[in-house]
Amino acid sequence: MPVSDEQRMSEQEKDLKSYGLMNLVEGETPHVGKEPEEMTTTWPHLLVKELNLFYLVMIFIMGMSVFFDAPLEEMANPSVTPNPAKAPWYFLGLQELLSWGPPFWGGIFVPTVGVIILILVPYIDRSRVGTGLWFHPSRRLYNILFTVFVVVFIGLIIVGTFMRGPIWGFYWPWEPWPTH
């Protein structure tokens, strides 16, 4: 049976409608079909918690700022090179890597590949088990790999910060640096 334009239009409209409706449902209340008892109102339950957390952060930062002063050394002087010269702590892991071999590998290759792998993580792990749960057993391999990454990342920073002295030589934190 031939379908009239009008019929086709109304068919399409139905599609559009239901699509629009789903969108609306998803946007405003993304929790269709769930028991209402599982949910509660944002005001005041979430907002009060958020405000309290803000107070805590403020207290912490202000407290730190009262007791510890930000460092300020001599004015910048291109003709006096400190030994060792160190990057900010969050880059000291990279600086440490750099000292191991050709600078390209530690300085460019490792961080670039690192960021790319990080972005790809959700596309590599396609499982749906354990989403939203801490340390789900089905994720042991992923968690171990990620922990290795974190430990190496932080470990390198610790070495670069506390165990590197003049000309990037290795010194234990309690070892005095040679004076000359």
Partner 1 sequence: MIEKVKNIVFQNRFWKSVFRHGMPVNARLRSEAVMSNLFLHIHPVKIYKDSLLFRKTLGLGLISFYLFFILCITGILLMFYYIPHVQRAYQDMKDLEFAVSFGMILRNMHRWGAHSMVALVFLHMCRVFYTAGYRHPREFNWGVGVILFVCTLALSLTGYLLPWDQLAFWAITIVVNLIETMPIIGDDLRYLVVGGTLVGQNALIRFYVMHVMVLPLLVTMLIAVHFWRIRKDGGLARPE
Q: Compare residues 9 and 59 and give the one whose CB is closer to partner 1.
A: 59
Contacts of 155 (CB under 8 A, 6+ apart): 93
Q: Phi then psi for 164, rounded to 5 degrees?
A: -125, 125
Q: Does 137 bind partner 1 (CB under 8 A)?
A: no
Minimum distance between the CB of residue 8 and partner 1, rounded to whole angstroms? 32
User: Could you tell me how far CA 13 lies from the centroid of its own chain?
Assistant: 43
Q: Does 140 bind partner 1 (CB under 8 A)?
A: no
Q: Compare residues 6 and 38 and give the one whose CB is closer to partner 1.
A: 38
Q: Does 175 bind partner 1 (CB under 8 A)?
A: no
Contacts of 114 (CB under 8 A, 6+ apart): none
Q: Rounded distance, CA 58 to CA 125, Å?
A: 37
- Residues 116-135 touching partner 1, rule: CB under 8 A, are 118-119, 121-123, 125-128, 130-135
Q: Does 176 bind partner 1 (CB under 8 A)?
A: no
